[in-house]
Amino acid sequence: MDLDSVKRFLEGERVENDEEGKAKESKMANLRHRFLEGFVTKGLKVDLIEPGRVVCSMKIPPHLLNAGNFLHGGATATLVDLLGSAAIYTTGVPHSGVSVEINVSYLDAAFLDEEIEIETKALRVGKTVAVVSVELRKKKNGKIIAQGRHTKYLAPRTKL
């Protein structure tokens, strides 16, 4: 994928402003937000995108809070999955691949409306296996909220 496509993939589809485009866009956007990826990435902004590295920011929304009123561990893991994949896409791999392993260490809580920054770095993108590191930080002081890694298998699932 080229960098613009990865950005659009993360921020949600945005199409040309002609009538047909508009209609298509609102339908796709609606559809998108009914699925887990859209549910979790709603409001995500891409601040920097380059081959092997993506930096995003986000304000913690109410629908991603857990019972303790801070960012849900499952939301963090979904971000590690999704943004990890995005960082792999930026290196120009032909196949998006499937997840092999995900891990996340939870270090601090992020509360409602907190601004967070998410940095994703490709540690290795080989012919068939890619590993990325994902770190969530508080924007105001840089404190780490969570750090994880995502391992993907890049060839078609049938060869796994």
The answer to whether residue 48 forms part of the interface with a copy of itself (CB under 8 A) is no
For the CB of residue 11, give the shortest distance to a copy of itself in the complex, in Å.
Answer: 16
Amino acid in the structure at residue 129:
V
The answer to whether residue 102 forms part of the interface with a copy of itself (CB under 8 A) is yes
The answer to whether residue 22 forms part of the interface with a copy of itself (CB under 8 A) is no
Which of residues 19, 20, 62, 113 is near a copy of itself by CB under 8 A?
A: 62
For the CB of residue 55, give the shortest distance to a copy of itself in the complex, in Å.
Answer: 18
For the CB of residue 24, give the shortest distance to a copy of itself in the complex, in Å.
Answer: 18
The answer to whether residue 77 forms part of the interface with a copy of itself (CB under 8 A) is yes
Stretch that binds a copy of itself, among 19-27, 37-45, 49-57, 111-119 (CB under 8 A): 37-45
The answer to whether residue 75 forms part of the interface with a copy of itself (CB under 8 A) is yes
Which of residues 1, 49, 56, 82 is near a copy of itself by CB under 8 A?
A: 82
Q: What 3 state SS string does the chain have?
A: CCHHHHHHHHHCCCCCCCHHHHHHHHHHHHHHHCCHHHHHHCCCEEEEEECCEEEEEEECCHHHECCCCEECHHHHHHHHHHHHHHHHHCCCCCCCCEEEEEEEEECCCCECCCEEEEEEEEEEECCCEEEEEEEEEECCCCCEEEEEEEEEECCCHHHC
Residues contributing to the site for a copy of itself (CB under 8 A): 34-37, 39-40, 62-68, 72-75, 77-82, 96, 98-109, 123-124, 126-129, 131, 133, 144, 147, 149, 151, 153, 155, 157, 159-160
